[in-house]
A and B are shown apart, each in its own frame.
Chain A
Amino acid sequence: MNRWFTVLSPLAFIIIWHVAGTLGWLGDTPLPAEVAVALGNLLRGEDPFLGELLRIHVAVSLVRIMAGFALAALCGIGLGLAMGWFPTVQIVMRPILEMLRPIPPFAWVVLAILWFSTGNAPAIFITFLGAFFPVALNTTAGVEGVSPVLREAASTLGASRWDSLRMVAIPAAVPEIFTGLRIGLGVAWMSLIAAEMVGVGTRGLGLLIETSKMVWRLDYAVAGMVVIGLVGFFLDFLMRWWSGYLLRWR
């Protein structure tokens, strides 16, 4: 029963969109069928504005997010563990992190271009910023939340402080780390698209919808949005699947 709803509710959404569009309630918003045609054109051939295959746009965006996200995961988990385990690190780093965190990654575009000029690097940097803060702060919370009983149990079994970090704090923090990774991946994806839209780097899904908008081909712009949504959904799905596997003990 519930399974049917996962199929039926998006279908109902598309039908409502179609009906509302046909009745003229949505102004110039392209109809689902027009978006589907644009999407079909993109899948079959080049996009009419940048002369690039859709799969190249997708690949470019994916490479950027993977590079930025991997870097953020590495640095964020590393710093988070240090902050959770060593109070001094937390005291020093916390105020800096809390001040930088509210700045939208997108606001860094100027500095990103200044520091990394062209190529994929500025976009990767923006993506990194999107994922870094949630990963670091969730990892910190995860380590801090490790049950004292488990830490004491480990030490009565002969574990040193280092062993406790390695064998208790890190595995116990995995659920929180994954929460951070999932949030981080979502923020990173949105930040990347925004950065691509203002022309950080050539190609990419953000640039595709931005150019479509400039020539007022809204069907292509919405088709681009659909692809962005689908890729984001897929990335999150992978993340959930992986964490479900690692957290099968829960």
Chain B
Amino acid sequence: MDSQTVMRIKNLSKTFPGRKGLPETEVLAGLDFKILADKFVCIVGPTGCGKTTLLRILAGLETPSAGNVELGGEEVNGPNAEVGLVFQEFALFPWRNVLQNVTFGLELTRRNRREIIEEARHYLDMVGMSGVEKHYPRELSGGMKQKVAIARTLALQPRVILMDEPFGSLDAQARNLMQEFLLGLQERTGVAVVFVTHNVDEAVFLGSEVIVFTARPAVIKKVYHVELAHPRCRTGDNFIAYRREILECLGEEIKTAEENIFAG
């Protein structure tokens, strides 16, 4: 493994057993790719193709049926603080205020209290949320909640952050702002990001790499290296060219996925 590689996904497959006599479901069928340091990897694929399952396996929440995931040369075999996960649903602890949400992971490191709070404040500041540290999650908008969730994950200095459609429930305006915010943050911290989305526009705007998955069982259909300088202009010709190409590539798979639904 070279020094550039943060995470190595080797021949990863996942099959869920069928319940009560139903046939088993093969979700992932031999995925092979690397996540390099500093990279922003976007994964797009038709709905239900196993993107979320992949992230859950990378985070150690689910075990693969075959193959494995290596983090810095060691196999991942359970959730740990080196791989951060930002959920699709807002997964803040509602009984903890903003600051306490960010300190959650730090409290488990058994360091002294003042240090923990200082550290948490640093990351809240980084995501621009230091003004609301005493607020409870219910008082925050969706975008603010995700910022706090990102700060909570960043505070543990993970090697890679996995994001499962984190802006999926935001309105279009908030979503665009959050994308710009996230890009800036990734550039500053240099953390590798794996970002799952079904929105091609979002993938092209964010990704240094866009991986297109096939319909279930998912394999990698194509990898696009988006060589556009930041900030990317959503209406620029190159941007639209990438978008068109990826949409076409994805379109075929969406059709297959629909046929699967009608067939099954």
Report A's interface with B, CB cutoff 8 A: 149-150, 152-159, 163, 167-168, 171-172, 174, 247-250
Most buried by B among A149, A157, A168, A250: A157
Q: What are some 29 contacts across the A-B interface (CB < 8 A)? A: A149-B87, A150-B91, A152-B61, A152-B87, A152-B91, A153-B87, A153-B93, A154-B104, A155-B60, A155-B61, A156-B59, A156-B60, A156-B61, A156-B81, A156-B83, A156-B153, A157-B104, A157-B105, A157-B152, A158-B81, A158-B105, A163-B108, A171-B93, A247-B95, A249-B96, A249-B97, A249-B136, A249-B137, A250-B94
Nearest CB of chain A from residue B202's CB, rounded to whole Å: 22
Q: Would A150 and B81 count as touching, CB distance under 8 A?
A: no
Number of interface residues of B (CB under 8 A): 29
Q: Does B65 contact A (CB under 8 A)?
A: no
Interface set, chain B 74-129, CB cutoff 8 A to A: 78-81, 83-85, 87, 89, 91, 93-97, 104-105, 107-109
For the A-B complex, the count of residue pairs with Cβ-Cβ distances under 8 Å equals: 67
Cα–Cα, bound, A187→B109 (Å): 43
Looking across the interface, which residue of chain B has its beta carbon closest to that of A160? B108
Q: 19 new A-B pairs (CB below 8 Å) besides A152-B85, A152-B87, A158-B105?
A: A149-B87, A149-B91, A152-B61, A152-B91, A153-B91, A155-B61, A155-B78, A156-B59, A156-B60, A156-B80, A156-B81, A156-B83, A156-B153, A158-B79, A159-B108, A171-B93, A249-B97, A249-B138, A250-B138
Q: Which of A153, A158, A171 contacts B108 (CB 8 A)?
A: A158
Write out the residue numbers on chain A whose beta carbons fall within 8 Å of the beta carbon of B78: 155
Smallest CB gap from B62: residue in A: A152
Do residues A156 and B84 form an inter-chain contact, with CB atoms below 8 A? yes
Secondary structure at the B interface, as helix, strand, loop or mixed, is loop
Cα A154 to Cα B104 in complex, Å, equals 8
Give CA–CA (A152, B101) in the complex, Å: 14
B156 interface residue per 8 A CB criterion: yes
Name the 6 nearest CB pairs between A and B, nearest first: A158-B81, A157-B105, A155-B79, A153-B91, A156-B85, A249-B136
Closest residue to B135 on the A side, CB-wise? Answer: A249
CA distance A150 to B70 in the complex (A): 25
- Complexed CA–CA distance, A152 and B138 (Å): 20
Rounded to whole angstroms, the CA-CA distance of A248 and B134 in the bound complex is 12
Rounded to whole angstroms, the CA-CA distance of A111 and B92 in the bound complex is 49
Bound-state Cα–Cα, A29 to B60, Å: 71
B-side contacts of A168, CB under 8 Å: 93
Give the docked Cα–Cα distance between A163 and B104 (Å).
Answer: 10
Please give, as numbers and ranges, the residues of chain A lying within 8 Å of B153 by CB-CB distance: 156-157
Most buried by B among A152, A154, A158, A159: A158
